[in-house]
Amino acid sequence: MTTAQHLDTIDLLRSREFPVEPGPSDVGSEGPGFHIAELNGQFGDGADDDEGGDAAADQRAEEHGALLNILERRWGEPDLFSLASTRLRVERDEEVPDPWRRLSVQMEWLHLWRIEDRWIAVGLSRFQLLAVVTEIDPL
């Protein structure tokens, strides 16, 4: 995918209603109050995504940087949001709503913007480049 396609996906998710039930979507997964777009890679454990190895990871990192650049020009400097405390809460079996529960298992950090009444987050891991649109406050 190109940066323009990533931006189109984020804009699409910003305009979509949230579903009543969790499940897959045409760009990833969604549930009450959130959309997660798998911009590159697969939202899972990443075990099957070793094909391409370092070259694929480098490509995701480049796409992540380009996307952040454009989003910063559009919305300003994002907050760098650590998911460490959220992950700890999940490990302690505390109640953590999605999308934050799912994201804490996959990501260390997210770049986060508050735009109107929604949070927009972009995250990069070794296997995934994700965009999230949610009305659920980060924990």
Mean pLDDT for 74-78 is 98
- Residue 130 CA, distance from chain mean position: 3
Provide CB contacts within 8 A for 15, sequence distance 6+.
none
pLDDT of residue 52: 57
pLDDT tens per residue, range 46-65: 444 455 578 888 889 999 99
Contact 96, 139 (CB under 8 A): yes
Q: Has residue 41 got a pLDDT over 60?
A: no
Q: Has residue 105 got a pLDDT over 70?
A: yes
pLDDT of residue 51: 52
